[in-house]
Structure 1
Amino acid sequence: MNVIRSDRQGHRRPGSSSEDTGTDGARINVVDALRGSALLLILLVNVAFFSSGFDFHLVDDPARGALDLLVAGLVELLFAMKAYLLFSFLFGYSFTLQLDSAARRGVAFGPAFLRRLSGLFVLGVLHAVLLFHGDILTTYALLGLVLFAVRRIETRTALLAAAAIVGVIAFVVGLAAVLGATLVPDEAAALTDGARSTLALRGGPGAVVLEHLRSMPAMLGGLAVQGPLAFAAFLVGLAAGRHQLLAAVPAHGTLLRRCERVGYPVGLAGAIVFAVGGGTANLTGLMVSIVTAPFLAAAYAATLLRLFTRWSRVADAFAPAGRMALTNYLGQSLVCVLVFTGVGLGLVGRTAPAQTLLIALLIFVTQMLASSWWLRRFRYGPVEGVLRAWTHGKRTVRWR
């Protein structure tokens, strides 16, 4: 495999084959780096659901002290409802790169993309049952069908549709709050369920899988909000891809600074209301976050893009993890299962939020190093290679 270095415009020179390439066939380094950053943020949010059975039931572990609640609250404030929006934006952006790649090579896009989505769906089902009941891959696979169906949508229409989706979901959640609906109608029962879930996750493989299956209805209910918002981010990513926003980041400096100037005050204000109000357990705070989280996610993206273009070595450090995003996403869940559940060390319910975050950071740093090592030897990540073979109907994977 050829060694490739970043240039100043955020591209990678030819030598790496992938769908995430610009119109000249060169891999776009900042796309990979931004995806790697999104993976870290997602892990910082998701790790709480591995480390405690209470979080999935939207209640705090009663054993937590004030410092624990503060750390957990900061994660809610800064990353919850934002991390997956950034990742979803990149899904939509990469969709445009895949369309361009197919057009350059003169091949039909639809059949391969639909096979890819079917592979993602199967991986997502296995992931949800065996590793993490909060899986997003199945949702992406289903929403990908809708994105494919509207792939010729006008850019302006895509942005208006995204705004409309966010507005409708916020209105419905706000209306539910006004009518007195609540996501935790019986806190005592939720605490009992949280203790039961924690105990179940300390069991062996059978107990862990059974707990994941038991949690499926609640997970599907959460997707009623998360799914449409993810699709709205798809559409924004599609619009950005049409204008090749990430292919020439310095040329869009004014737009990025505007995202920061507006996104941080609006997004952080909404995030404070969201976190102080009880996070996703409170419908009023959730409504505020639905409206304001996209602003903060956009501000994060703008800051990271400016950072990556100014210091290319930082981008180079995050990019390998992003190039192997699917492998690393599944790998994060596997490692967390081995660390927190009874399948491995059984630390569920036994680590403070600060310790849990430290474990997450160690996992991600290890993934960064492992991804860099792997991609110096192979073209694709392990799962990416297998999915690519399925997508293109090949029996073997050309790793080099």
Structure 2
Amino acid sequence: MQSSTEGRQNNSRRQSALAARINDIDALRGGALLLILLVNIAYFASGYAFHLVRDPDHSDFDRMVFMAVELLFAMKAYLLFSFLFGYSFTLQLESAARRGVSFTPRFLRRLSGLFLIGALHAVLLFHGDILTTYALLGLVLLAVRRIAPRTALLAAAWIVGLIAFLSGIAAVLGTTLVPDTAAAIEAGARSTAAMQGGFGSVVLEHLRSLPAMLGGLAVQGPLAFSAFLVGLAAGKRRMLADVAAHRALLHRIEVVGYPVGLAGATVFAVGGGTSNLTSLMVSVLTAPFLAAAYAATMLRLFQRRRWIADALAPAGRMALSNYLGQSLVCVIIFTGAGFGLAGHTPPAQVLLLALAIFVGQVAVSAWWLRRFRYGPVEWGLRAWTNRERTALRR
């Protein structure tokens, strides 16, 4: 009788530990959602950002706000999200193994569904979509799923180094991403005017922007995959299975990550951001340090303030729905399909809107998951992946 009671207690402790682990991962994903929104919302608020130039009507204060976003979040937010994609991949592998089901066919269906959702997202809502890139890179991740953690980390470092090297060579050769600033400013004005039009005008602008977006993936794609590999290595080492046991490591990541990352981010922001290949090279090398430091800080904070993790976790649990929801809300706020505020909202107000949107998503996510098992888009993707409709309502 005593051993039966102890067995139940041990099982309860294991379930509690598993729930805490998943909660930390979901909360970290929720934090990444906020960082993603703080970067992406600028591309809804103005057409100039997509053409890598500043709005000529911005004041000095507006430029300072824009520079602060580039310094703190640009080139870092999607790395954190990509890391979590790689880490979650290992959890999906473990889940398939426990249930004794074939992983590859299901994951391929998941990627195909993700690609379709991303393609619709890119055309209808946001031309800076990342889901299609994730779907394609997921094929490579599937192919290398048996890679050893150490090898994965070395491969990630080589990818980052190669992209930085190529960016540096291009800068030395005099290559510029904005060869004609006046023409880019003119194109930015046209894009802003198109966004202020109706929904058809917005979709046409997205279609016109697709070639430039695909060109930008030459840098973003490999860097996202390098973060996949780091997440894969961390997942295989079960780094987030017991966050409290890795406090010393997380502290070291902060001690190294913040000085290196912020120094590189300062060079990146002051040097012209993604429009300058030299500053881009510096950011490629240092942004992973700052992204890692952000993750370490959030994880340590979650251990001290569990209520923060509990608040963010529902938003992270339905991250796909929230990512698409962010774009939908921004289309309504900024384009002519809604309130038409594109080109009329200063960067500081844009950031306040981003915070308001995210707070709303946190509240709605908690409300939704009290009533339903999955986010709406997650439920649809799950049904496509598993070829069965699971119950949505609790």
Which residue type is aligned with residue 225 of structure 2?
F
| CA deviation vs aligned residue, 1:47-85 (integer Å, no higher than 9, x gap) | 000000000000000000000000000000000000000
Partner of 2:290: 296
Q: Structure 2: which 5+ residue stretches go unaligned? A: 1-12
Match of 1:218 among 206, 212, 224: 212
For 1:169-318, list aligned pairs within 5 A.
169-318=163-312
Match of 1:338 among 332, 337, 342: 332
- Structure 1 Cα separation of the partners of residues 86 and 295 of structure 2: 14
| CA deviation vs aligned residue, 1:230-286 (integer Å, no higher than 9, x gap) | 000000000000111111001111110110000000000000000000100000000
1:66 aligns with 2:60: yes
Which residue type is aligned with residue 165 of structure 2?
F
SS of structure 1 residue aligned to 2:54: coil
Contact map agreement 1:13 1:27 (CA 8 A) in 2: no
Match of 1:43 among 37, 44, 48: 37
Contact map agreement 1:12 1:27 (CA 8 A) in 2: no
Partner of 2:6: none
Which residue type is aligned with residue 283 of structure 1?
L
- Structure 2 Cα separation of the partners of residues 125 and 45 of structure 1: 20
Partner of 1:5: none
The CA deviation at 1:28 is 1.0
Contact map agreement 1:163 1:232 (CA 8 A) in 2: yes
The CA deviation at 1:12 is 9.6
Contact map agreement 1:12 1:29 (CA 8 A) in 2: no
Contact map agreement 1:385 1:399 (CA 8 A) in 2: no
- Structure 1 Cα separation of the partners of residues 206 and 154 of structure 2: 37
- Distance change in 2, residues 1:64/1:154 (3 Å): same
- Identity rate, percent: 74
Contact map agreement 2:264 2:282 (CA 8 A) in 1: yes
Contact map agreement 2:149 2:237 (CA 8 A) in 1: no
- Structure 2 Cα separation of the partners of residues 87 and 27 of structure 1: 17
Which residue type is aligned with residue 181 of structure 1?
T
SS of structure 1 residue aligned to 2:371: coil
1:126 aligns with 2:120: yes
1:57 aligns with 2:51: yes
The CA deviation at 1:302 is 0.4
| CA deviation vs aligned residue, 1:66-125 (integer Å, no higher than 9, x gap) | 000000000000000000000000000000000001111111111111100000000000
- Structure 2 Cα separation of the partners of residues 270 and 129 of structure 1: 33
Match of 2:342 among 337, 348, 353: 348
- Structure 2 Cα separation of the partners of residues 105 and 93 of structure 1: 19
Partner of 1:8: none
The CA deviation at 1:204 is 0.6
- Structure 1 Cα separation of the partners of residues 133 and 367 of structure 2: 31
Contact map agreement 1:48 1:353 (CA 8 A) in 2: yes
| CA deviation vs aligned residue, 1:139-163 (integer Å, no higher than 9, x gap) | 0000000000000001111000000
Which residue type is aligned with residue 196 of structure 2?
R
| CA deviation vs aligned residue, 1:293-340 (integer Å, no higher than 9, x gap) | 000000000000000011100000110000010000000000000000
Match of 2:89 among 88, 95, 112: 95
- Distance change in 2, residues 1:323/1:236 (3 Å): same
Match of 1:136 among 112, 116, 130: 130
Contact map agreement 1:50 1:337 (CA 8 A) in 2: yes
The CA deviation at 1:180 is 0.1
- Structure 2 Cα separation of the partners of residues 25 and 372 of structure 1: 16
Number of residue pairs aligned between Structure 1 and Structure 2: 382
Contact map agreement 1:274 1:286 (CA 8 A) in 2: yes
Partner of 1:380: 374
1:152 aligns with 2:146: yes
- Structure 2 Cα separation of the partners of residues 245 and 40 of structure 1: 23
SS of structure 2 residue aligned to 1:289: helix
Partner of 1:117: 111
- Give the aligned CA root-mean-square deviation in angstroms: 1.3
- Structure 2 Cα separation of the partners of residues 391 and 137 of structure 1: 16
Which residue type is aligned with residue 374 of structure 2?
Y
- Structure 1 Cα separation of the partners of residues 45 and 383 of structure 2: 35
Partner of 1:18: none
- Structure 2 Cα separation of the partners of residues 155 and 57 of structure 1: 38
- Structure 2 Cα separation of the partners of residues 364 and 146 of structure 1: 32
Match of 1:80 among 47, 68, 74: 74
SS of structure 2 residue aligned to 1:220: helix
SS of structure 2 residue aligned to 1:376: helix
- Structure 1 Cα separation of the partners of residues 370 and 239 of structure 2: 28
Question: Scaled by the length of structure 1, what TM-score is found?
Answer: 0.94
